Amino acid sequence: MTHDASPPPPAQVMHLVSSMWAGMAAGTLARLRICDQIAAGATTPGAIAERISASPDGVARLLRAAAMLGLVSEVKPRTFALTEVGDLLRSDHPKSMRALLDTETGPGHWLPWMRLDECVRRGQSLATEALGMDLFQYYAANPDEGKVFAEGMTSLSMGAIGAVSQAWTPPAATTVVDVGGSQGAFLRWVLSARPEARGVLFDLPNVLATAAPIPRTELVGGDFFASVPAGGDLYLLKHILHDWDDARCKQILGNVRTAMAKGATVAIVEMLIPDDGSPSPAILLDLNMLVLTPGRERTQAEMTALLAAAGLTVHQVVRTHSPFSLIEARAT
């Protein structure tokens, strides 16, 4: 006789409902920077509420939920400490994930998510309707939220870089161009692995304004639909292609193809949708792309076809011990 350990179906449905509440609670803890306050010594709801101009009762109820979710622990009645997970929501943690939670549950992402049913009906993003402009224009027009988005991308990158660095050695290069590199976390790691190389961090000017200087690196603002910096022998595109439909990816890749030096390598980092239907974080990320962008997550075959259409041939696909894969391509 088999024993099914899964909770009964109604409990599983309730779990889905409360998962959304849990995510929003964690996002609010992050946005209100409550973990920073606890780390700074404000450990009671009253003390935190005073510092962030909030209701003591509201803060107490949020902390009770955060304790149940394992983000804080109630070390004595109405006194809270950070757990190891909650510690990651401190702004100054070296691997902070505060900005990622903030951005994923903030207006720039959540207003488009409220249109998911309409996105499914039409098969396209309604972010422009929800935000009054496209996502990247929205972050340019709302610089505080835009800075949090860039920081969130950096914290997402930290996990991906850890996994990629165990599976891939960047090829020797003189000039490494990070296309849509945001604050340059991936470029920073590639340059540390290739001390002989110099870097070019290329992104929209408002995004580069949030980036700290990177040794041996020039910051170049621009629009990758117009052109990308020329003469590089390694081009990085991390989480760029999933933001765009095939036609626009072809435009970006075509500009890379035109700009790259002879023999250059293009290194693409994305989550790939499994061919065999197995579960993967890429599948939910694809819905995030559906609501936010004209883009999508792709299978390896779809990526290969996309690259071929831009005159690039896949040289190798490096799978990592994470949902991220790295695809190396060269001019056909």
Ligand X SMILES: C[S@@+](CC[C@H](N)C(=O)[O-])C[C@H]1O[C@@H](n2cnc3c(N)ncnc32)[C@H](O)[C@@H]1O
The residues binding ligand X (CB under 6 A) are: 136, 153, 157, 180-182, 203-204, 207, 223-225, 238-240, 243
> Can you state the percent helix, strand and coil of the chain, rounding each to 5?
50, 15, 35
H/E element, 38: helix 34-39
Q: Compute the distance between CA of residue 25 and CA of residue 253 in angstroms, rounded to an integer.
A: 39
Under the phi-then-psi rule, with left for phi > 0, alpha for psi from -120 to 50, and beta for the rest, what region is 156? alpha
Q: Where do the DSSP E strands lie in 126-230?
A: 175-179, 198-203, 217-221
Catalytic residue among 93, 242, 315, 321: 242
Minimum distance, C-beta of residue 152 to ligand X, in the bound complex (Å): 9
Q: Where do the DSSP E strands lie in 232-294?
A: 234-238, 265-271
* C-beta separation of 200 from 217 below 8 A: yes
Minimum distance, C-beta of residue 281 to ligand X, in the bound complex (Å): 15
For the record, the structure tokens of 239 come out as: 């989480």
* Of 83 and 124, CB closest to ligand X: 124
Minimum distance, C-beta of residue 207 to ligand X, in the bound complex (Å): 4
Minimum distance, C-beta of residue 133 to ligand X, in the bound complex (Å): 13
242 is catalytic: yes
Tell me how many degrees the CA angle 21-24-27 measures, rounded to the nearest 5.
150
Q: Determine the straight-line distance between the first and last CA of the chain, rounded to whole angstroms.
A: 57
* Of 239 and 257, CB closest to ligand X: 239
Minimum distance, C-beta of residue 277 to ligand X, in the bound complex (Å): 26
* Of 57 and 223, CB closest to ligand X: 223
Active-site annotation, residues: 242
